[in-house]
Amino acid sequence: MTDRSGEMAATIADAASRQQALYICGGGSKRQLLGRDCPGQELTVWGHSGIIDYQPSELVLTARAGTPLAEIVASLEREGQMLSFEPPLCAGRATLGGTVATNSSGPARPWAGSARDMVLGVQLLDGRGQLLNFGGQVMKNVAGYDVSRLQAGALGTLGVLSQVSLKVLPRPEHSLTLAYDMDAAAAIDSMNRRAGQPGPLSGACWLDGRLYLRLSGAAAAVDHTAAHWGGERLAGGADFWLQLREMTLPFFAGDEPLWRLSIRSTAPPPEFHGPALIDWGGAQRWLRGELDFAALQRAAAQAGGSATLFAGGDRGGQLRPAPDAVTRRLHERLKQAFDPLHILNPGRLYDFL
Amino acid sequence: MQAHHMPPVPRDTLLRRLRAILPGHCLLTDTESQRPFECDALTIYRELPLVVALPETVEQVQQVLRSCHELGVPVVARGAGTGLCAGAMPHPEGVLLVLAGLDRIIEVDPLARTARVQPGVSNLAISAAVARHGLYYGPDPSSQIACSIGGNVAENSGGVHCLKYGLTVHNILALELLTVEGDRVTIGSQGLDSPGYDLLALMTGSEGLLGVVVEVTVRLLPTPQAAQVILAGFDSVSAAGDAVGAVIAAGIIPAGLEMMDRLAIQAAEDFANAGYPRDAEALLLCEVDGTREEVASCSAIVAALFRELGATSIVVSADEAQRARLWQGRKCAFPAVGRLAPDYYCMDGTIPRRQVSRVLTAISALSEKYGLQVANVFHAGDGNLHPLILFDASSSDEVRRAEQFGADILALSVEVGGCITGEHGVGLEKLRQMSHQFSPAELALLEDIKHAFDPALTLNPGKGVPILKRCQEYRALPARHSHD
């Protein structure tokens, strides 16, 4: 339980006065993921930790950004609650701030929302070192622009998160996993059909010729639905989802480039060679291998979304598609508003930011 | 970086430009035909624009924006006009851009569970159009028959089901946006996220200050198999408040959880004959939905909890007809309360749920102080409180007292850890209260965001965020409105 916000503010103000670039890091679990290499003096948020307020009956938890996610999850579990977006805990290294900054969300995302969806408010340090509060600790708040959710996925380029308030939810009473042997195209169709039916679906993934569906909720509802949906009841299903969430399945091992496609859930399976994993009920596809970035971009765009180089490959190059001129202009102006001297994680998201 | 100081554009110049873009029937220039557009549903704030434009195509909207941008003319976008914060009140020197005519459902993809719609499509029309696929659109503001999806995006509308199903921001995937310059850009995607900054989140709830939405891709949800309502009366507000906490603590996320106080209960019962307990000090309406098994198990738990916590009466809906009737009272609460006085003023603070008893007690004291009655309707599940202050708009003294009463309630909401608006927006109405909620540095950043999208400050000027740093003499709304 240490509040390091004053010290971090001073570091930022000092860096601003020298136009010194800062690289923001928490537990270092995502250093090699999502973002481009970022030169700069390290500003660590690790140690700026502690749960500040947690009222189970309010479904809201507020903690300092450097709090290890594992600590938060443990506190929630004691009250029968959870982070519904199932972020990876990264062997205890994931922090609340890093999770929000990367919008890190697990298998339940299509049904239970993302990290971004659960953000209710943030306290952040802008590029001048000013401590600012946006959003709050209540479920509904439309006062001012939604600066809080804007931080999700911004990779720290719009501010150093100091505190975050999240909506939390009760843990489901019961979960089970159904598995079916089928090819990718059939699995995509099945996932989408199931997701369109009322039922306690909470995960849908395809890997190595098998479709995995997870049901979570009231025991009566889960059992009743499982009886109708058939398939093989997987013993140890919880482990599968945990390994998917933590990206510790064998699919994710090794140094080969890992590509992430965020696309329309019904898009046909990508025609690229190499291993593929389908998650989020079809809306998130993972590919491995030395693939052609431009070709992947075209395929993803055709499927209504985008491709990013999530891990591996050249971390100094372009990892995500270049925005169109208007979007780029809006990004540049927003960056200017939050971080006029461009000292926070320069280049981490795009080379021009 | 200062906004330009342009003199107001001569009306003739503007009209000449607009007549080249829009056919005659799409422009309203005389006072008589403009009158229906002078306010949104917060009718105490009224203003007439220079001209009302009713475009029928996206290209027309784009050209109107381009012309206004070149001339430096303010543009206020408006949907169905059901807003409650004077966010769509016209600017006296600007164009009121009415998007209600863009009302086409472009495409429904039942398998992907999405729909692409134009901004003027009503909220309920989306659910109606996809019902045959067993799908619906989640957010259901009480104005859902009339309110448009474009307006829902502008306000980040909620409704009675948002604790479980989320707000507008959680239920949309993409927007086609026109910038103030008239540039068209896609925000979001058909996937669940997009690279770069989350402009979708930033646009949602931005009250028409950052751009004009000309298309929305919404996510659709499977219609639950079953739903049941449990109605319970309590002899005190605090007992009802405790019961709300107990439901959440039991691990149940109700589809809806509403509270009403005595005056609201009586007004609603007089109006709708829903079977509400007239003698109760507070009433809870708790809806559970899901599979049949889930609903049966949850409603039994909720009814038992309510009984245990001292409910003086309990009704569990036996069928769809009864469920609809029990909701009817709540859904009519605003017009029902509206019959008790010539006018009512609806507040929208959100508070931590545990503070409800304290806040309602304080509101009751304020009601005495200002000599105005108040009925309270509360989205108890998510802490969003709607006190309805009763007054007579023909008395300028009562208007002033109602406004002050409302301001005190908002200050109180902030004081207990909540916020000044949960779902109705800031608009013109709560501009002054923004400084209760935000520090000068925070307001300056909000202003910088506005400036990033709209450097000349011509989109819905004088609303949403106070403009402090940049000179805005010309842009500011006149200090006087017709009720003063």
Of B135, B298, B441, the CB nearest to A218: B298
Mean pLDDT for B49-61 is 98
What pLDDT is attached to residue B472? 55
- How many domains does chain A contain in total? 3
Per-residue pLDDT tens digits for A110-137:
999 999 999 999 999 999 999 999 999 9
- In a domain, residue A317? The reply is no
The answer to whether residues A38 and A74 belong to one domain is yes
Average pLDDT over chain B, rounded to an integer: 93
The answer to whether residues A67 and A125 belong to one domain is yes
How near does any CA of chain B get to the CA of A131, in Å? 9
Instruction: Tell me which fold the domain B105-222 belongs to.
Output: 3.30.465
Q: How confident is the model at residue B483 (pLDDT cuts 50, 70, 90)?
A: very low
The answer to whether A70 contacts chain B (CB < 8 Å) is no
Using an 8 Å CB-CB cutoff, list chain A residues near B251: 80, 170-171, 173
Residue B243 CA to residue A336 CA, distance in Å, equals 48
What pLDDT is attached to residue B469? 79
Per-residue pLDDT tens digits for A179-198:
999 999 999 999 999 999 99
- In a domain, residue A351? The reply is no
Instruction: Tell me which fold the domain B226-334 belongs to.
Output: Alpha-Beta Plaits (3.30.70)
Per-residue pLDDT tens digits for A46-65:
999 999 999 999 999 999 99
Chain B residue whose CA is closest to A309 = B195
Q: Over 60: is that where the pLDDT of B5 sits? A: no
* Interface contact B296-A139, CB threshold 8 A: no
Q: Over 90: is that where the pLDDT of A164 sits? A: yes
The answer to whether residues A205 and A67 belong to one domain is no
Q: Over 50: is that where the pLDDT of B480 sits? A: no
- In a domain, residue A97? The reply is yes
Per-residue pLDDT tens digits for B71-99:
999 999 999 999 999 999 999 999 999 99
β pairing state of A174-181 and A210-217:
antiparallel
Mean pLDDT for A208-224 is 95
Using an 8 Å CB-CB cutoff, list chain B residues near A324: 185
The answer to whether B242 contacts chain A (CB < 8 Å) is no
Mean pLDDT for A67-77 is 98
Instruction: Enumerate residues 6+ apart whose C-beta is below 8 A from B220.
Output: B110, B113, B114, B115, B126, B130, B133, B135, B136, B137
Q: Over 90: is that where the pLDDT of B183 sits? A: yes
How near does any CA of chain A get to the CA of B197, in Å? 5
- In a domain, residue A323? The reply is no
What pLDDT is attached to residue A300? 97
Residue B468 CA to residue B470 CA, distance in Å, equals 6
CA dihedral B446, B45, B329, B424 (to 10 degrees): -10
Q: Over 90: is that where the pLDDT of B473 sits? A: no
How near does any CA of chain A get to the CA of B226, in Å? 9
The upper half-sphere exposure of residue A6, i.e. CA atoms within 13 Å in the direction of its Cβ, equals: 2
What separation in angstroms does the CA of A136 have from each of A36, A143, B260?
31, 10, 25
Average pLDDT over chain A, rounded to an integer: 97
Residue B138 CA to residue A168 CA, distance in Å, equals 20
Chain B residue whose CA is closest to A268 = B112
What pLDDT is attached to residue B7? 64
The answer to whether B298 contacts chain A (CB < 8 Å) is yes
What pLDDT is attached to residue B470? 77
What pLDDT is attached to residue B171? 98
pTM above 0.90, yes or no: yes
Q: Over 90: is that where the pLDDT of A230 sits? A: yes
Q: How confident is the model at residue A74 (pLDDT cuts 50, 70, 90)?
A: very high
Q: Between B237-249 and B356-370, two packed helices, what is the crossing angle to 10 degrees?
A: 150
Assess contact for A60 and A79: CB atoms under 8 A. Answer: no
The answer to whether residues A292 and A240 belong to one domain is no
Of B195, B222, B245, the CB nearest to A308: B195
Instruction: Tell me which fold the domain B341-415 belongs to.
Output: Alpha-Beta Plaits (3.30.70)
Domain at A195, CATH number: 3.30.70
Chain B residue whose CA is closest to A266 = B112
The answer to whether residues A131 and A67 belong to one domain is yes
User: Locate tokens 């381009």: which residue?
Assistant: B66
What pLDDT is attached to residue B340? 94
* Interface contact B197-A153, CB threshold 8 A: yes
Give the number of other CB atoms < 10 A from CB of residue B83. Answer: 27
Share in percent of chain A as helix, strand, coil (round to 5): 30, 25, 40
The answer to whether residues A100 and A217 belong to one domain is no
Residue B302 CA to residue B286 CA, distance in Å, equals 8
Tokens describing residue B390:
């009763």
Domain around A306? 250-311
Q: Which of B395, B394, B421, B392 is nearest to B406 (CA)?
A: B421
The answer to whether residues A94 and A143 belong to one domain is yes
Q: Over 50: is that where the pLDDT of B479 sits? A: no
Q: What percent of chain A has pLDDT over 90?
A: 97
The answer to whether residues A180 and A236 belong to one domain is yes
Where do the DSSP E strands lie in B262-414?
A: 282-290, 313-316, 343-346, 374-379, 384-391
Same fold, B226-334 and B341-415: yes
Using an 8 Å CB-CB cutoff, list chain B residues near A154: 197-198
Give the residues across from B209 on adjacent strands. none
The answer to whether A227 contacts chain B (CB < 8 Å) is no
The answer to whether B255 contacts chain A (CB < 8 Å) is no
The identity of residue A298, as a single letter, is R
What pLDDT is attached to residue B471? 62
Assess contact for B206 and A145: CB atoms under 8 A. Answer: yes
Per-residue pLDDT tens digits for B394-447:
999 999 999 999 999 999 999 999 999 999 999 999 999 999 999 999 999 999
Q: How confident is the model at residue B1 (pLDDT cuts 50, 70, 90)?
A: very low
Per-residue pLDDT tens digits for B374-398:
999 999 998 999 999 999 999 999 9
What pLDDT is attached to residue B4? 46
Give the number of other CB atoms < 10 A from CB of residue B351. Answer: 25
The answer to whether residues A155 and A180 belong to one domain is no
What pLDDT is attached to residue B188? 98
What pLDDT is attached to residue A333? 98
The answer to whether B66 contacts chain A (CB < 8 Å) is no
The answer to whether residues A263 and A287 belong to one domain is yes
Per-residue pLDDT tens digits for B210-251:
999 999 999 999 999 999 999 999 999 999 999 999 999 999
The answer to whether residues A189 and A290 belong to one domain is no
Domain positions in chain B: 105-222, 226-334, 341-415
Mean pLDDT for A60-80 is 98
CA dihedral B465, B470, B475, B477 (to 10 degrees): 50
Assess contact for B392 and B370: CB atoms under 8 A. Answer: no
Assess contact for A207 and A277: CB atoms under 8 A. Answer: yes
Tokens describing residue B120:
């003027």
What pLDDT is attached to residue A18? 97
**Residues 5 to 24 of A: which have CB under 8 A from any B CB?**
none
The answer to whether residues A300 and A254 belong to one domain is yes
Per-residue pLDDT tens digits for B283-300:
999 999 999 989 999 999
Q: Over 80: is that where the pLDDT of B8 sits? A: no
Tokens describing residue A346:
């320069």
DSSP reduced 3-state for A178: strand
Assess contact for A305 and A297: CB atoms under 8 A. Answer: no
Q: How far is CA B406 from the centre of its chain?
A: 17
Of A58, A117, A195, the CB nearest to B352: A58
- In a domain, residue A17? The reply is yes
